[in-house]
């Protein structure tokens, strides 16, 4: 591209599309709201956030020749899975966080049992959201999308990563072990994002696998950057920063055959590299 790609403008516009789609995809809180579940679901999802997982879906979909609008059902589904995981992570039995994004966490606002049920409801609602606009996706791709989301959300993905993270704690001294945690806990949902974007663009299996791999590598780099921002895993700081550069290079190599359509993917991977470097230099980003 001859012009400079404006990542912030790109992300802002597509984040608006995602937020509007989430409002439509979540159940309306009203009189028929058992135990304030619907209210709690909207509270958990609509309190803000970077929406990076759905934004990766859109960038992957566009890189594969699709549109942002085509990707929105998958965006909603993945963001609901992410939100449910945060609701459960915040519970007293796990991280016991009392505040998120400047607001009381879900279990503080709706009770401990309410937090469990709201998370459960978001997980199941995610698969309903995935089916919105199903007539516009090839049937084989839709089946694959369900399989991808289930796989990367469960014991072989995000949930397994959380269990491993709880078992290992914050004093890991082996980069390979740390990246195993990052690949499952964070990388899995980004891998799902890359694959879902390609699937909702109607892509062939090779493109789906390539963008799934892009998402996994990006997700590991993203978590390394977060560790630097949060001052976690100090023993592996230097190695982690080197790995961010390597992983971003691998992401860019995957995106290269997709040409100009993959410019957003390249800008997003550069963003995570800059985020890690800025954090290491003491510049705190959100």
Query: What mean pLDDT is predicted for residues 149-174?
Result: 93
Residue 2 domain-assigned? no
Query: What mean pLDDT is predicted for residues 51-74?
Result: 98
The answer on pLDDT for 234 being more than 80 is no
The string of pLDDT tens digits covering residues 184-197 is: 999 999 999 999 99
The string of pLDDT tens digits covering residues 200-221 is: 999 999 999 999 999 999 999 9
| Structural domain for 68, as ranges | 7-280
Count of domains forming the chain: 1
Residue 140 domain-assigned? yes
Residue 12 domain-assigned? yes
**3-state secondary structure string across the chain:** CCCCCCHHHHHHHHHHHHHHHHHHHCCCCCCCCHHHHHHHHHHHHCCCCCCHHHHHHHHHHHHCCCCHHHHHHHHHHHHHHHHHHHHHHCCCCCCCCCEECCEECHHHHHCHHHHHHHHHHHHHHHHHHHCCCHHHCCHHHHHHHHHHHHHHHCCCCHHHHHHHHHHHCCCCCCHHHHHHHHHHHHHHHHHHHHHHHHHHCCCCHHHHHHHHHHHHHHHHHHHHHHHHHHCCCHHHHHHHHHHHHHHHHHHHHHHHHHHHHHHHHHHHHHHHHHHHHHHHCCCCCC
Residue 285 domain-assigned? no
CATH at 88? 1.10.600.10
Residue 120 domain-assigned? yes
Query: What mean pLDDT is predicted for residues 109-121?
Result: 97
Residue 286 domain-assigned? no
pTM of the model: 0.95
């Amino acid at each position: 591209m001859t012009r400079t790609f404006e990542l912030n403008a790109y992300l802002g516009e597509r984040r608006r599309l995602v937020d509007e789609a989430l409002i439509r995809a979540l159940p309306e809180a009203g009189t028929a709201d058992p135990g304030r579940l619907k209210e709690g679901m909207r509270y958990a999802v609509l309190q803000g956030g970077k929406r990076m997982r759905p934004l990766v879906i859109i960038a992957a979909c566009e890189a594969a020749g699709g549109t942002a609008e085509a990707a929105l059902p998958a965006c909603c589904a993945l963001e609901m899975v992410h939100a449910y995981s945060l609701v459960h992570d915040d519970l007293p039995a796990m991280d016991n966080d009392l505040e998120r994004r400047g607001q009381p966490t879900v279990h503080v606002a709706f009770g401990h049992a309410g937090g469990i049920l709201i998370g459960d409801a978001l997980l199941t609602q995610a698969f309903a959201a995935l089916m919105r606009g199903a007539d516009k996706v090839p049937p084989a791709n839709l089946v694959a999308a369900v399989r991808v989301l289930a796989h990367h959300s469960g014991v072989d993905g995000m949930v397994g990563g959380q269990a491993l993270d709880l078992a290992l704690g914050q004093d890991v001294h082996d980069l390979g072990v740390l990246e195993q945690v990052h690949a499952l806990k964070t990388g899995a949902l980004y891998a799902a994002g890359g694959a879902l974007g390609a699937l909702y663009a109607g892509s062939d299996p090779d493109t789906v696998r390539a963008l799934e791999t892009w998402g996994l590598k990006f997700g590991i780099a993203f978590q390394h950057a977060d560790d630097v921002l949060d001052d976690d895993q100090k023993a592996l700081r230097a190695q982690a920063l080197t790995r961010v550069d390597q992983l971003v290079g691998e992401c860019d190599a995957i995106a290269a055959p997709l040409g100009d359509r993959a410019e957003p993917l390249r800008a997003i991977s550069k963003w995570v590299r800059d985020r890690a470097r800025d954090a290491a230099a003491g510049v705190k980003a959100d």
